Amino acid sequence: MPLNILFAARPERWETYERPLRDALDKAGFGDANLAQEINPRDVDYIVYAPNSPLQDFTPYTRTKAVLNLWAGVEAIVGNDTLTMPLARMVDPGLTKGMVEWVTGHVMRYHLGIDTDILRSAPEWMPRTPPLAQERQVVVLGLGALGATVAQTLAGLGFQVTGWSRSAKKVDGIDCLHGAAGLKESLSRAEIAVLLLPDTPATHNTLNAETLAQMPKGAFIINPGRGPLIDDNALLAALDSGQIAHATLDVFRVEPLPADDPYWTHPKVTVTPHIAAETRASTASEVIVENIRRGEADEPFINLVDRALGY
Ligand code: NDP
Ligand code: OXD
């Protein structure tokens, strides 16, 4: 019997994903699959899912073998008690490339002093050659699919890169630390800190008044992870005191960022509207279909979410 694959995302995403998903299904030998935005819940084998989909109650999906998330972050769905089937998050080579490019751009912007030394120096002629990357310490908090690739790219450019994670890790070219002591040591080196942690109860306010004070004075922060990783009042105070020189924030506790949020107008903050990286339909469809293939072959799914850890 052909597979029934429900596409449960905002309706406007269908146009972006239908062709790439059909192509990937075809390539994997599932060309006869019924891929649709509406299927009787009792008949659905797999759900291709975005957490902002209207589908929030999974109870009627009694034979569904897996929910395949289109987003890397799962905080909006991981606590859903009706979602009892395996949940896979998105690890997409296209998304990873986008994140690497976005983070590298902002690291280079801070490293080279592009805002301060170039744009704002006119009409003064005050040559200050930036240091080389090898003289700059960058810390990446989170060494997962995104953080590890970002860290290795920055190390490849010559930066001294420290990475921090929950469990002990080995990543070539990166000084890997973990746990509470590892965070303190990492932050003490962080001339530039990049946050690529998931949003879980354990990561909330990773940057707070105490940990911000552990960073070198005048450090830079780049947060494409999630808003709750930072205690906003503590960051604003650290920016005002000069402890933190500047922050580039892509993600926020409330999105869209409310019009009256102080971040919008703060002279030491760059706000970007959650655009650091997005799932790319062609590469992501291959990842989704690989999991469908595994499900059908009774092989273990890839990129499974650990419900207890929340990511
Ligand atoms: P992964 O799950 O692959 O990696 C998460 C990393 O965070 C792991 O190294 C993990 O440690 C570490 N971590 C988790 N909890 C803790 C903790 N309590 N203390 C220390 N380290 C911890 O995620 P990805 O790399 O794929 O994505 C990271 C996040 O990036 C996503 O969850 C999402 O929030 C965000 N994102 C943002 C986008 C944007 O456009 N702004 C786009 C895509 C993702 P360990 O290795 O030990 O498990
Ligand atoms: C994601 C994101 O989690 O876009 O994929 O933030």
Q: Which of 95, 199, 252 to mutate to test the pocket of ligand 2 (most atoms within 8 A of CB)?
A: 95
Residue % of the chain over a pLDDT of 70: 98
Q: What was the pLDDT predicted at 45? A: 98
Does the pLDDT of residue 173 top 90, yes or no?
A: yes
Question: Is residue 302, in this structure, part of any structural domain at all?
Answer: no
Same domain, 206 and 116: yes
Question: Comparing C-alpha atoms, which of 230, 224, 171, 218 is closest to residue 192?
Answer: 218
Residue to probe by mutation, ligand 2, list 97, 278, 303, most atoms within 8 Å of CB:
278
Band (119; pLDDT cuts 50, 70, 90):
low
Helix axis angle, 281-296 to 14-27, nearest 10°: 50
Residue 306 within any structural domain of the chain? no
Instruction: For residue 179, tell me if it sits in a domain.
Output: yes
Residue 1: pLDDT band (50, 70, 90) is: confident
State in Å: Cα 274 to ligand 2 middle. 8
Residues 123 and 245 in one domain: yes
49 and 115 fall within a common domain: no
- Asked whether the predicted pLDDT for residue 164 surpasses 70, the reply is yes
pLDDT of 122 above 70: no
* Ligand minimally distant from the alpha carbon of residue 303: 1
Question: Which residue CA neighbors atom 32 of ligand 1 most closely?
Answer: 198
Across 100-109, average pLDDT = 98
Distance CA 127, CA 210 (A): 35
pLDDT higher than threshold 70 for residue 155: yes
Tell whether 88 and 114 lie within a shared domain: no
Task: Report the chain's mean pLDDT, rounded to a whole number.
Answer: 96
Residues 291, 162 share a domain: no
Q: Are residues 121 and 81 in the same domain?
A: no
Q: What is the largest CA-CA distance in the chain?
A: 73
Are 115 and 194 found together in one domain?
yes
pLDDT the model gives residue 116: 74
Looking at the domain assignment, is residue 168 inside a domain? yes
The CATH number for 241's domain is: 3.40.50.720
Q: Mark whether 207 and 264 lie in a shared domain.
A: yes
Same domain for 58 and 156?
Answer: no
Band of the pLDDT at 118, cuts 50, 70, 90? low
Q: Is the pLDDT of residue 185 over 60?
A: yes
Domains identified in the chain, total number: 2
DSSP codes of every residue in the chain:
---EEEEES-GGGHHHHHHHHHHHHHHTT-TT-EEES---GGG-SEEEE-TTSS----TT-TT--EEEESSS--TTTTT-TT--S-EE----HHHHHHHHHHHHHHHHHHHTTIIIIIITTTT-----PPPPGGG-EEEEE--SHHHHHHHHHHHHTT-EEEEEESS----TTSEEEEHHHHHHHHHHH-SEEEE-----TTTTTSB-HHHHHTSPTTEEEEE-S-GGGB-HHHHHHHHHHTSEEEEEE---SSSSPPTT-HHHH-TTEEE--S-S----HHHHHHHHHHHHHHHHTTPPPSSB--TTTT-
User: Same structural domain for residues 204 and 287?
Assistant: no
pLDDT at 121 over 80: no
Distance in angstroms (rounded) separating the CA atoms of residues 29 and 65 = 18
Ligand nearest to the backbone CA of 144: 1
Whether the per-residue pLDDT at 124 is higher than 80: the answer is no
Residues in a beta bridge with 164: 141, 177
pLDDT higher than threshold 80 for residue 203: yes
Distance 292 CA to ligand 1 centre (A): 24
- Residues belonging to the active site: 226, 274
What local confidence, expressed as pLDDT, does residue 126 receive?
74
Q: How far is it, in rounded angstroms, from Cα 268 to Cα 303?
A: 37
pLDDT in tens, 274-300: 999 999 999 999 999 999 999 999 999
CA-199 nearest atom, ligand 1: 34
At 28-57, the pLDDT tens digits run 999 999 999 999 999 999 999 999 999 999
Identify whether residues 69 and 115 lie together within a single domain: no
With CA atoms as reference, report the closest residue to 303 among 79, 64, 89, 48.
89
**Domain extent at residue 39:** 4-92+279-296
Q: Are residues 165 and 234 located together in one domain of the fold?
A: yes
